[in-house]
A and B are shown apart, each in its own frame.
Chain A
Amino acid sequence: MTTVNLHLQQVKEQTAESMEEMWVNMGPQHPSTHGVLRLLIKLDGEVVRECIPYMGYMHRCHEKIGENRAYVQIIPYTDRLDYLASMYNNWAYCLACERLMGIPIPERAEYLRVLIGELQRIASHLIWLGTFGLDLGNFTLFMWCFREREMILDLFEAVSGQRLNYSFMRIGGLALDVPEGWLGDVKAFLQWFKPRLPEYDRLSTDNIIWQKRIQGVGILTPEDAVSYACSGPVLRGSGIRWDLRKNDPYGIYDRFEFDIPVGTSGDVWDRFWVRRQEMDQSVRIVEQALTEIPPGPVLAPVAKKLRAPVGDIYSRVESPRGELGDYIVADGSEKPYRYKVRAPTFVNLSALPVMLPGYLVADAVAVLGSVDIVLCEVDR
């Protein structure tokens, strides 16, 4: 027995209390929790034994606000859920309303939605990759990802006038058609972006330090992933091929050819690799959409004052973070009677307590980063 252990033994005997485990707060102001999240972690030396995530610091009564607004007025509020993928939130909400009211969408709007949605997925994964790199100490990757994301934001600014909270989709299509030459800009962006992906790879995927850091950490078994109702890359990283774009196609996703990357072991590496490959697939979808996009109107003729028939709907889309569902109960008036959002990150974050135990506290940051949380969506 070394002297240190001997000393510990003595202290333990004196205090008659276990010195081995203690509770530590990580957050709410921890820089790597991507927002205001408090993790209560039980530590045994450096090893995490238990983890309890505390959420709700950013609760904004999104659903209650929605019950007091007309259907159109809710659209700007949906931006503020997952602000890194606002277009997708718009889409999810508008799709739910369209299904509820039975509004068909023009063909061009469908294509543009897919195109914009996939660009948004790339942008969202880029910011994830960047901040994940930052968590692991890879600052260059962060800068590069932001550079390309900035280009996508420029594209979005040209169509919607906003860089973050777009409010661009409307019930029945899109607010406006894209400006002239915009599709050419998208092509130019893809030209620039495609050679960048292997560059990221050389900086991250092929880097031995990066591999060693995240392989075999934060394992989420397929059974746990399913029983915690995880979705998106977290679920696919555990090896389950479940993507709503294929399994429950919405919009016109059934017309495009793309693969669904899945992981094998469910560790942080798999979740990283799934997202990294999804960027390739999104590029593929955008390219197909660019070649097939038809001319025509982008907004179906809808009444100024939208009233939904009595009924309810649950409609879901595959947002960059997982299954984003909107549940709307309509009572025939201008406002929803009940409006509920199923936030993918909220559900995925709930699985953190089964991913963390048994790993070092230094890995906690990597595991948390791999879940890809946006706390505005978690807390709503």
Chain B
Amino acid sequence: MWRYLRELWGGFWSIILSMQITLRYLFTRAVTVQYPEEKRQLPVRALTRHVLTIDLDSKELKCTACDMCARICPANCIHLEGEGKGKARRPKWFVIDHNLCMYCNLCVEVCPFDAISMYTGMYELGGFSRTSLVYDMETMHADGFYPTIMSPRSPAGAGVKAPPPAGAGKQARKA
């Protein structure tokens, strides 16, 4: 009987003790973020949707359709066809199927021309059909500087450029 009461009291006491610790957290700042309204600042390396980078002067795609990325991709989701010979070789069409992509960064690492980047900060890719996740060359055509593995800094060299605000995403790119 006494043992039972003692255990009962012990249980109550540990509940009170735990309550004491947790109570403190009522008065501290929340660690959570109210997502759609507030957005976290992504680190530069955050792997998000691909972009085909451009030469900043001529605004031409750097890609030479060498097919390296398509061959290394484990998920087999990059498809492209090139046209032209030698230095003038450029992709005719270039498609990445983001339904299959594993965001492994292998295609970016293997690219010898620094022509593809995943440091874009575009992560809100939701769509209403599967085809909406298949991105073609126009959609992935960069509109300015994007950090890449070889050049994680801005071209001026003035520190790390934060990725463009997420969610400016697809629409802005298309316009």
Contact = CB atoms under 8 A, between A and B. Distances in A.
Given A69-B74, A140-B22, A202-B17, A208 B43 contact: no
Given A165-B102, A208-B11, A76 B18 contact: no
Interface in A69-122: 69-70, 72-77, 79
A77 B10 contact: no
B163 to A, nearest CB: 11
B74 A76 contact: yes
Interface stretch (A14-22, A33-41, A156-164, A354-362): A156-164
Contacts of B31: 147, 150
B15 interface: yes
B14 interface: yes
Contacts of B17: 202, 206-207
A interface, by DSSP: helix, strand, loop or mixed? Answer: helix
B133 interface: no
Contacts of A159: 45
A210 to B, nearest CB: 8
Interface string B69-110: 000111100000000000000000000000000111110011
A202 B31 CA distance: 21
Interface residues of A, number: 34
B21 interface: yes
Interface string B18-46: 10011000000001000000000011111
Given A161-B105, A208-B14, A203 B21 contact: yes
30 contacts: A69-B74, A72-B72, A73-B73, A73-B74, A73-B106, A75-B106, A76-B106, A140-B18, A157-B42, A159-B45, A161-B45, A161-B46, A161-B47, A161-B119, A162-B47, A165-B103, A165-B104, A167-B102, A167-B103, A175-B109, A176-B149, A179-B43, A179-B44, A206-B17, A207-B14, A207-B18, A208-B10, A208-B14, A210-B14, A212-B7
Interface of B: 7, 10-11, 13-15, 17-18, 21-22, 31, 42-47, 72-75, 102-106, 109-110, 118-119, 149
